[in-house]
Amino acid sequence: MAENNKINRDDFEAMSTETDRKLDKRFKELKELFFSQWGCLVESLAKNDLVRIFEKRGIKIEQTGQRLKGSHKGQRYEFDIVALSDAEVVVVEVRTTLEPEHVREFVDKMGSFKTWVKRYAPNTVYGAVAFLQAEAGAEQMAENQGLFVIRATGDSAAIVNQADFVPRTF
């Protein structure tokens, strides 16, 4: 009768694999929740200072919005923050940690911005990246691509581009 309660090696390995799979899934969910909350914090820091920091660069922001989502010909898009003045639009990509791949992806998305969001086609459109930290030269890469570079620090944010920086228009 004791033999009936024994778990054979194959059953044990199958249970172990299933447990590992469930733990991996739960860890991924918790990690995504953690980083999404950090992202919300960075987004809030950047958004709250956009009017002030862009005014210093001669762009008078009158309105900001978050999470501009849509689709164009079946292609979905999302932009984290859109800051508007009469004639200018600044589109901000927000990252907790900015990496070179994020810069490349954002520049690609910005190439389609006026096609995807036609109401801003007549405007001068700039891109910006906001982040807490940058890795592998991503900050310099963003500036080289003509993006405003915004570092969120403490309870505020600041543009860290050189004073003579000229942003790219999209």
Q: Is the pLDDT of residue 41 over 90?
A: no
Per-residue model confidence as pLDDT tens digits over 50-91: 889 999 999 999 999 988 999 999 999 999 999 999 899 999
Q: Is the pLDDT of residue 126 over 90?
A: yes
- In the prediction, which pLDDT does 98 show? 95
More confident residue, 9 or 42: 9
Specify the amino acid at residue 17. T
Strands of the sheet containing 156-159, edge to edge, are 63-72, 75-84, 88-98, 124-134, 148-153, 156-159
Q: 159: closest CA among 64, 66, 55, 60?
A: 55
- In the prediction, which pLDDT does 29 show? 60
Secondary structure of residue 25 in the 3-state scheme: helix
- In the prediction, which pLDDT does 1 show? 47
Q: Span 107-129, mean pLDDT?
A: 96
Specify the amino acid at residue 10. D
From start to end of the chain, where are the E strands? 63-72, 75-84, 88-98, 124-134, 148-153, 156-159
Whole-model pTM? 0.75
**What residue spans of 56-168 are helical by DSSP H?**
100-111, 113-116, 138-144
CB-based contact 118:86 (threshold 8 Å): no
- In the prediction, which pLDDT does 44 show? 66
Q: Spell out the CATH class of 43-159.
A: alpha beta
Q: Span 115-138, mean pLDDT?
A: 95
- In the prediction, which pLDDT does 48 show? 75
CB-based contact 61:54 (threshold 8 Å): yes
Extents of the domains making up the chain? 43-159
CB atoms within 10 A of CB 35: 13
Spatial separation of the C-alpha atoms in residues 68 and 77, rounded to whole Å: 8
Q: Span 161-168, mean pLDDT?
A: 93
CB-based contact 66:80 (threshold 8 Å): yes
